[in-house]
Amino acid sequence: MAVKFLLGPAVMAVTSAAIGIRGELLRVSIIQAALPLGLVPFVFAKEYDLHPDIMSTS
């Protein structure tokens, strides 16, 4: 479990930097790589107001 929180962001940082992603987009991608998988769809649903109440249930 801890490996995912360390390795995921590291891989995302290296890969994103290699293809030229910089700045805020790079920081957001690294943070999303560290988030639990179930949280990312909820964040998008909440951001775009696409049924976040449904996405927050399992």
Q: Which two tokens stand for residue 9?
A: 């962001």
Domain chopping of the chain, boundaries: 1-54
Residue 21 CA to residue 42 CA, distance in Å, equals: 24
Residue 54 CA to residue 58 CA, distance in Å, equals: 8
The overall longest dimension of the chain from CA atoms, in Å, is 37
* Contact assessment for residue 33 and residue 21, using Cβ atoms and an 8 Å cutoff: no
Would you state the pLDDT for residue 40?
76
Q: 38-47 pLDDT, tens per residue? A: 777 888 888 8
Would you state the pLDDT for residue 44?
82
